[in-house]
Structure 1
Amino acid sequence: MVVISAEHNDHSEHSATSNKYSAGEGGARQPGQWRDWLTRSDVGRLWTELHRIVCQHPLVRASQSAGLLTEGEGRASAYTDLTQELFVALLSKGRFQHYLDTGMSDAEIECEIGQIELTNILTAELRKRHPESYRLARRISTIIQSSPNFRRFDGAGSDDPYRRLGDRVYGLREWPDSKARRPTHELEQRVQMVPVRQRDTRMVGCTGDAQIIISNSDLEDLIVSVLEAVDSPVDVRTLRSLVMSRLPVMDIYLVPLGSDEVEDGGRPFEPVDGRDNPEQGLLRREAEREAARCVDRFLQGLYEAVRGKSKQYNRILGVLWYCYLSPEHITQLEAAARLGVSDSLVSDYRRRIEQQLRALAFTEVEEARQFEIALRERVRAIVYDEESVAV
């Protein structure tokens, strides 16, 4: 279950917080000189400032804690990857040129990049990976702001439009202003008294592919029940988590493939078995045996092509490995240098090898693939064995 910062996609929040975001948390930092950098095509400076916006964006930090960002070698790696994604998105959409053509100010450019473009990238990933959690978090946020049953308790009211929605404190309207707040661990214990609601399986949406889960009226009643149980004003982020813990949310990655106990006498679901069936296994083994026989015939043809001379046979096998089978994909000149022979001799050996290959005349692609696999393993063993003996 993921309930992070769903409010960042609210357009009302965007307009309210844009000035503070562009100036930084403390309000002292001035926006970057975007128009100057865009005019001079200073890519390095643009990338650096985009990286700064990514590192400071609150939704980026929340997404990382929720597992939406792959950290790789650390947090810096995750921020770098996201910065590159943001840079490519802005470039591909022609936003840089748009900023210059429309005469946007530096503050407006930075605000749009941070509040719209970067937020859209993150929320799109959030909606894709956690569709139900994201949708319910937004519904909860909307209800507590619009319903007459709730009001703010953080003392700021409407005089502090810059306070992020997730940090605002709400409670029941009838509570007094002096209502004490409880610690988080106590809230989590008290909410266990509220029963988990049953899932409403009615289908909704323009395509009819989403379930209601819970109606708005029932969701509002559940929020009231949660607040009554915890008996404390709660910040929006924590309140969403408490409410959704009482809901049967089943995001894509949480749906199990099967269960030990089958409910209602239904048939258990079993994932597709990707292993060979008996017939496929027999055909595969037969193909491997035929490929091995083709390898024997092919190597015997090479042995006869050099008139049974061991030194020349080892050389032609070396050419076969370096020019055809080795994953290094070196050039013919490099192969000649490694084998200690001339380039013309390598060309002659390649001609003999290709002559033997044409003599095989495979009729199926799978036959050729099995032959290549078997030949690579056989020649690798021979070549590396010869190298170890030489050393």
Structure 2
Amino acid sequence: MSTAAQSSKKLAGRQSQLVGNKRPMVIAGPCSAESEAQMLQTALGLKKVKGVSVFRAGIWKPRTRPGSFQGVGNVGLEWLRTVKQETGLHTACEVANATQAEQALKQDVDILLIGAHTTVNPFLVQEIADALRGVQVAVLVKNPVNPDLALWLGALERLHNSGITDLGAMHRGFSTLDSAPYRNHPKWEHALELRQQLPDLAMYCDASHIAGRRSLLRPVSQRALDLGYDGLMVESHHNPAAALSDAQQQIMPQELHMLLQALKQQHTPAEKLKQNAQVEKLRKEIENLDDELLTLLSRRTKVTAQLGDYSKPVERGSETPDLVRWDLVLENLLHQASSAGIDQAFVKTIFQEVRSQYARTHLYNYGLSS
């Protein structure tokens, strides 16, 4: 285990703000704060949804290129404060730097979210940690954009070292070359590895950013609950079609109510959660091994194709030279299988299939097949 992981075991865990008596704790609200009316209308709808205890809204929106809607800024914090006063819901928003954190605290925001693009920058995380030193506030740290466990652990450590004890992790998925069908690939095993190293840390799932679309919210949320997550964050807007950002992954408050009603919430013993985490890890290992097998088969196909160039018959009808003693190859493989405790019949079957494929390709390439 790394030094970072060892020291992170000292992190304080479950606090009342992030882990309640009933699970899941639900954080909900629009992707972006757009107007005070939009905030209040959505919040009043969410107040009626059983299980929702925290209203969130994006005040500052990080965008890759300028010109896109980047949030309303500080005025949105005033709207959050109004929501809190009118509904009694706790409030949450994402902060990207120390200045934003300080502004949020002035408006009595209950939970600060450290975004994925901030988690990747230790300098920014440290500046936020310094700004929060001595402050009693709950903080949820999103995973970094790419699957880097050390960065995630490091961000949690920095905040803990500044005195933040009401601390948790927010799993929002990872950017990958192929994340289909998700917006951000969940890579559940990565989040579970963090949970294994920090078993007392509150763990939330940002189902909206993993799913990227409404149709996947239920399976993603259910998977999180099955894996023992403490809470969910789901984006909700009173009129998603008119949303200024991420309209396709937001749902109306009444739809959130139906989603939460459909989820199966069952108590899972700690030992079962540990077993689930191990199963997830083994499942991922099998996927990696399957990828390696395909890579090896691809390499083997290329090599046999090159070998075929040297076994081309001199003329049609003449004997095709066989440059490989397949009987000796099989004998060696069966000996290795026996030593490794692998069923010899299984190895022989695979070998014969691969050998037949080579023979068919070889004969076809030289016009020897019918």
TM-score normalised by structure 2 residue count: 0.19
TM-score normalised by structure 1 residue count: 0.19
Which structure: larger Rg?
A: 1
The structure where strand makes up a greater share of residues is 2
The structure where helix makes up a greater share of residues is 1
